[in-house]
Amino acid sequence: MEHEQQQQTRRKLVGKGLKIGLLTAAGGALLAKVFGQSGKAKSNSAKSSETVELMSTDGTLMSVPASAVSHQHESKSAYNPREGFPNRKFVMVVDLAKCRNARKCQSSCNKNHYITGENAWIKIYKMQDSERSAPYWQPTLCQHCDEPPCVKVCPVDATFKRRDGIVLIDNNRCIGCRFCMAACPYSVRVFNWSEPWQGTFAEQYEYTPDYAGVPSQRGTVDKCDFCPHMIDKGEMPHCVSACPNDVFSFGDLYEDSVTNGSGQSFQLSKLLKDRAGYRLMENLGTQPSVYYLPPSDRVVDFEEGLKNYTEFESVKKH
């Protein structure tokens, strides 16, 4: 209880103090600039008297002159969809104690990626590890493994791993052999068995691998892309911001920080330590970028999710 309260107050504090939001804007490079060799980087027009509050990796707040702050996405010209964002390493934390199968993550993902088939990229599994253990809901998306078995087997380098940790698919190159789907132990990859018929809205976009599904291509593989198009705008992936229960937190491993849909930030290492975070199928050596917090001390009822659950229902379409 006491621990919970502490956390609550800290969350409030963090929520108030940090309107700069997403720490995604402030990288490790930035901190280096703050403490020292910041001489050249002062191209900002902000006056040096203005200050901003920043949180360091151990969770303490400090104020620094605004002129010392440079924003990550200003160096966008260097960004290459196959290389990824420089000096970033994206991670996600999924808190199973909070999931009640509201499926908002799924419908938001479907909507924003124009998924028209029966195959959602994010699925909420009804899990029960053994007969006597408690059931729980497990949202599962691409784990963006550091040792991705899908990338290993792709014959044409259509699916690839970026430096920022994201695994993407180049649908203009994919030959549709589906070997990656066979190799993925998390069953997160889906195939466009027929023409996606996404409508003119999705089709008007020019295809780029870092906004998957827009548009989708028949005969190629799709999957969760960790939303680089949202990160690029300094926003959260669709599932993170859509979740009404703050199940998802997204952030940067180098910054040791993740932020949930309500804007609350946590120190990643501490969160994983306190809550005994784990990754799926660690034994396979795939090194996922998605961490799970066990469904203990639940904030929601498992049964509540059952009303949304029909075993064979396909995904909600938009």
Partner 1 sequence: MSSDYDRLVSDLAPQKFGWKGSVWVSFLILIILIGAYCYIQQVRQGLVVTDMRDYALWGIYISNFVFFVAVSLVGSLITAILRLSDVKWNTPLTRISEIIAVAAVMMAGVTIVIDMGRPDRVLNLFIHGRLQSPIIWDLLVVNTYLVISLLLLYYPLLPDLKILSKYFQKKAKLSKWYDRFSLNWTGNAKQHKIYSNATTTLSILIIPVAFAIHTVTAWLFETTYRPGWDSTNFGPYFIAGAFVAGTGAVIAVMYVLSKVYHLEKYITADHFDKMAKILVMLCLVYLYFNINEYLMPTYKSTEEEAGHLRSLYTGEYSWLFWTVIFGGLILPVIVLLFRKGRKPLPLFIVSLAVVLGAWWKRYIIVVPTLSHPFLPIQGVPESWRHYSPTLMEWMITLATLAAALLIITLLVRFLPVIPIHETAEERKLIEPSSNN
Closest alpha carbon to 103 in 202, 225, 243 = 243
Give residues with Cβ within 8 angstroms of 296, minimum separation 6. 97
Verify binding: residue 35, partner 1, rule CB under 8 A: no
Verify binding: residue 308, partner 1, rule CB under 8 A: no
Q: Least distance to partner 1 from the beta carbon of 271, Å?
A: 24
Which residue is associated with the tokens 């926003």?
Answer: 235
Could you tell me the two tokens for 128? 């029960």
How far apart are alpha carbons 163 and 59 in whole angstroms? 26
Q: Which is nearer to partner 1, 84 or 148 (CB)?
A: 148
Q: Least distance to partner 1 from the beta carbon of 115, Å?
A: 12
Could you tell me the two tokens for 14? 């963090």
Verify binding: residue 157, partner 1, rule CB under 8 A: yes
How far apart are alpha carbons 221 and 179 in whole angstroms? 10
Q: Which is nearer to partner 1, 125 or 201 (CB)?
A: 125
Residue spans of alpha helices (H) in 101-226 = 104-112, 149-153, 179-183, 200-203
- Phi, psi dihedral angles at 72 (to 5 degrees): -55, -45
Peptide bond into 295 cis (omega under 30): no
Q: Which of 24, 72, 112, 192 binds partner 1 (CB under 8 A)?
A: 192
Q: Which of 153, 299, 300, 306 binds partner 1 (CB under 8 A)?
A: 153
Q: Following DSSP, what letter does each residue of 42-78 receive, concatenated?
A: ----S-TT-EEEEE-TTS-EEEEEGGG---GGGGGGG
Verify binding: residue 158, partner 1, rule CB under 8 A: yes
Q: Which of 124, 167, 214, 230 binds partner 1 (CB under 8 A)?
A: 124
Verify binding: residue 173, partner 1, rule CB under 8 A: yes
Looking at residue 18, the DSSP 8-state letter turns out to be -
Q: Which is nearer to partner 1, 33 or 113 (CB)?
A: 113
How far apart are alpha carbons 143 and 167 in whole angstroms? 9
Could you tell me the two tokens for 265? 């930030």
How far apart are alpha carbons 195 and 70 in whole angstroms? 44
Answer for the pair 89, 28: CB distance below 8 angstroms, yes or no.
Answer: no
Q: Least distance to partner 1 from the beta carbon of 74, Å?
A: 33
Verify binding: residue 162, partner 1, rule CB under 8 A: no
Verify binding: residue 39, partner 1, rule CB under 8 A: no
Verify binding: residue 127, partner 1, rule CB under 8 A: yes
Number of residues that bind partner 1 (CB under 8 A): 48
Which one of 77-85, 89-97, 186-194, 296-304 is the stretch in contact with partner 1 (CB under 8 A)?
186-194
Q: Which of 69, 92, 190, 202 binds partner 1 (CB under 8 A)?
A: 190
Q: Which of 48, 194, 201, 303 binds partner 1 (CB under 8 A)?
A: 194
Q: Which of 82, 175, 233, 276 binds partner 1 (CB under 8 A)?
A: 175
Verify binding: residue 219, partner 1, rule CB under 8 A: yes
User: Vertex 249, ends 246 and 251: CA angle to 5°?
Assistant: 155
Which one of 2-10, 236-244, 258-266, 307-315 is the stretch in contact with partner 1 (CB under 8 A)?
307-315
Q: Which of 176, 234, 263, 277 binds partner 1 (CB under 8 A)?
A: 176
Residues at the contact surface with partner 1, assessed by CB under 8 A: 118-120, 123-127, 140, 149, 152-158, 173-179, 181-183, 185-187, 189-195, 218-221, 281, 284, 311-315
